[in-house]
Structure 1
Amino acid sequence: MNNNTTSHHQFHDNNGQDQKGISKKRYMFLLFINYTCLFVGSVSSSLLSKYYFNHKGSSKWVSTWVQSAGFPLLFFPIFLPYYLFKCTQRKPFTRFTSGILSLSMFIGLMLGLNNLLFSWGNSYLPVSTSALLLSSQLVFNLILSVIIVKQKINFMNLNCVILLTLSSILLALGSSHDRPQDLTRANYFIGFLATIGAGLLFALYLPIVEMTYRKVYCYAMVMEMQLVMEISATVLASVGMACDGGFAEMKRESREVFDKGEGVYWATVVTNVVTWQLCFMGTAGTVFLTCSLTGGICMTALLGMNVLGGVLVKEEFGGVKAVSTVMCGWGFCSYVYGTYVSMMKHLDPRKQMNQATEMAQGQDQGQAQVVTASSDHHLGPGV
């Protein structure tokens, strides 16, 4: 991962020229890697979390802990490029100020709370209902992005938000009978509120992260900040686990509670740790390379894929859900295509050169006019 990679909105600070010298191929490759991590991680982690609860796993703190405990995996993209591959001259954590450290820790605690709310909701609600409620974050993400990072609203992103929102409403109409028979009304209500809270907190988390990334000048620093965030979230989850019995409770649960056996239990936990880390790495990279709204749209679209995945954990998939999923995919694909076309225009070196030339010519003409006006002023009005 090259440290000269910079976010999309940082490419044109100097008369339209690329200050970092990033190539189009390198940027697109890195963006593709992050999209892949986000897709694989988001769908797999949600289904594995539901699998854990479906087979009598019951600890919300265990489900919260696995979402951030994979932070050691971030050591690979942070340290290997410098110490092993020698493909960068920047030493890890260079220019990582105390301000960035404090901000990363605060955002990490926010992320930890979001993880807890998600686990709480996921323990009670079906995958499809949880996906529906979480998708409500997209509208709030758009509003908060406009307020916090001055996101511009255009037809492309507004059309996508409308389609995904309508998809969620349609899904709601077809999910009213999805509540498990053994789930009490009180627990269903708790899961409902917790999932709504997780969606709103994530909608706030994305633009705050984007604003923070504007202080960052390379992709490696994004991974370093992500490491600090995940450590903070893990500390919060570990404290909660300690109050709930600690790791001894995990051992008891694996042997006596989980109905698939101890081996499957630990395989589920370890796999979930890895997939959640892929999800958050992909989210961080996507926000850095594009914007927070794109990250929110990707997450919402992937929630639609979770509805398809719900079939794997024995949930119904009828015609209403099928139409909703198609609308979700339609909105997402249209947004991605529009973003790609816009990105190609910005990354086109010929266009950048033309913009720079036009800018330079405009400056030269302006200077010439100033010189002429100054000469006329000195010669006097009679000339």
Structure 2
Amino acid sequence: MGEIQEVQLQIKCQESKEVSAAKTGSEEPTSTSPTKASKDYNWWLRVTVYAFLLISGQSVATLLGELYYDKGGNSKWMATFVQSAGFPVLFIPLIVVRVYLTPPTSSTTTITTKYSPSVSTLALLYLSLGVLIAGNGMLYSYGLLYLPVSTYSLLCATQLVFNAIFSFFINSQKFTAFIFNSLILLTLAVVLLAVNTDPSDSKTVSGGKYAIGFICTLSASAGYSLLLSLTQLSFEKVIKKETISAVLEMSISTSVVSTCTCLVGLFASGDWRRLKNELNEYGEGGVSYVMTLVWIAVTWQVSSVGILGLVFEASSLFSNVISTLGLPIVPIFSVIFFHDTLNGVKIVAMLLSLWGFVSYIYQHYLDDCKAKETNKHS
């Protein structure tokens, strides 16, 4: 009789444990869902911050670059040099991140591995990307010199088309109807600019120089897109450590290489001899000349952090889409500050660019909803 009671007691204890486990299991999704929501919120917060850095830095740097040329600046090597020379300002956030953030537990860490690339591998990577940045910056300098800032900015929208092509072959980017729609709209916007050029809007340069500026800007857009795709590939295959610290380290390292490359070009071309006259003859004075170049350098670094941050938080194509979003802002401010013309063709091209951006963002929204639905049923 005592043995029967003992068996019954064991059965009741076992049932009690199973009920407790069932309750715990039913409560787990509720307890983990806030964590999942918190991660989503943190991701969107980081993306928003990086997007703001990219759009604001890119817009201000482009406008200041136009101001440099508009007031008498003419050195293409100097204009290219300042696009990367502001890297010392990034040491401040890098030190803050390393002192106050621990990478293994930081919410910004998306990939953590014990793999560490060799010094020679990183040196070759940063050297290649840095030289590509310098060459691409020179092409952009030619474009900004020979084109009005509104035409220049809208031509830069082609970088999204090039990026989609490079992403398909390099990053295995999948295409959908909305992405194709975005590419077609942006292509149409560029075609409108190409076939409806207003001679009075060509900065009083010859037709040949205008064509050079047009071609250089398109080439720079292609180079910029290739750079983003290679950067994404580098994060995935070489660095394998996607943190804020990694973003800042890459931005600083590639900027150092690009700056040194531009210095070599500046002295090899003899352009440095004309800088003193350029300083003295600058329309707003020497102090304004120096401050313009300094702030161009700083804002391009701000933009660089935003670009790289979006690449590892999302993708190179997403980073390029955000960059394209900032392009219509520049022509509006160029009308206000530089009295640039904004005719009907440019307005239509601007609207097509915005439409293309919205189309891509909607595809990202659909992908996000699909991912949440899959996680919900898994």
TM band (smaller chain): 0.7 to 0.9
Partner Cα separation in structure 1 for residue 189 and residue 206 of structure 2: 27
Contact 2:202 2:210 in 1 (8 A): no
Residues 276-299 of structure 1: CA deviation (Å, up to 9, x unaligned): 111111111111111111222222
Q: Secondary structure at the match of 1:112?
A: helix
- Equivalent pairs, count: 330
Partner of 2:86: 70
Contact 1:101 1:225 in 2 (8 A): no
Partner of 1:324: 349
Measure the CA separation in 2 of the matches of 1:21 and 1:136: 35
Q: Which of 254, 278, 284 matches 2:308?
A: 284
Deviation at 1:207, TM superposition (A): 1.1
RMSD of equivalent CA atoms = 2.6
Pairing 1:260–2:284 present: yes
User: Residue 225 of structure 1 corresponds to which residue in structure 2?
Assistant: 250
3-state DSSP of counterpart to 2:348: helix
The aligned residue for residue 52 of structure 2 is 36
Q: Looking at CA atoms only, which structure, 1 or 2, has the larger radius of gyration?
A: 2
Paired AA for residue 79 in structure 1: I
Question: How many angstroms does 1:74 deviate by?
Answer: 2.1
CA distance in 2 between counterparts of 1:318 and 1:28 reads: 36
Structure-2 separation of matches of 1:344 and 1:302 = 26
Q: Please name the residue that 1:97 is paired with.
A: 118
Instruction: Return the alpha-carbon distance in structure 1 between the equivalents of residues 291 and 188 of structure 2.
Output: 37
Deviates more, 1:225-234 or 1:300-309: 300-309
Instruction: Work out which of the residue numbers 155, 158, 172 in structure 2 matches 1:150.
Output: 172
SS at match of 1:157: helix
Are the aligned partners of 1:164 and 1:300 in contact in 2 as well (CA < 8 Å)?
no
Contact persistence 2:83–2:297 (CA under 8 A): yes
2:76 is matched with 60
1:171-207 superposed Cα distances (whole Å, 9 cap, x missing partner): 4454433543631233223323322221221121121
Change over 3 Å in CA distance of 1:67–1:331 after alignment to 2: same
- Counterpart Cα distance in 2 of 1:226 and 1:343: 29
Q: For residue 354 of structure 1, report the CA deviation from its aligned partner.
A: 4.2
Cα drift, residue 88 of structure 1: 4.2
Contact map agreement 1:305 1:325 (CA 8 A) in 2: no
Q: In structure 2, what is the equivalent of residue 273 of structure 1?
A: 297
Query: For structure 1, which segment, 237-246 or 64-73, has the greater mean C-alpha deviation from structure 2 after superposition?
Result: 237-246
Q: Point out where structure 1 has 5 or more consecutive residues left out of the alignment.
A: 1-19, 356-383
Aligned AA (2:348): V
**Maintained 8 Å contact 2:146/2:210:** yes
Please tell me the residue identity of whatever aligns with 1:38.
Answer: L
Query: Residue 110 of structure 1 aligns with which residue?
Result: 132
Deviations 1:291-328 (A, max 9, x none): 11122222233223222232121111122322322222
Does the alignment pair 1:333 with 2:358?
A: yes
Name the SS for the 2:202 alignment partner. coil
- Contact 1:164–1:301 (CA<8 Å) still a contact in 2? no
CA distance in 1 between counterparts of 2:161 and 2:354 reads 17
Indicate the percent of aligned positions where both proteins have the same amino acid: 31
What CA deviation, in whole Å up to 9, does each residue of 1:81-125 have, x standing for no partner?
222x2554699xx93532133212211110110001111221111
Q: Give ranges in structure 2 of 5+ residues lacking alignment.
A: 1-35, 107-114
Q: 2:217 aligns with which of 195, 202, 212?
A: 195
Q: Hey, what's the Cα distance between the residues in 2 that align with 1:327 and 1:246?
A: 40
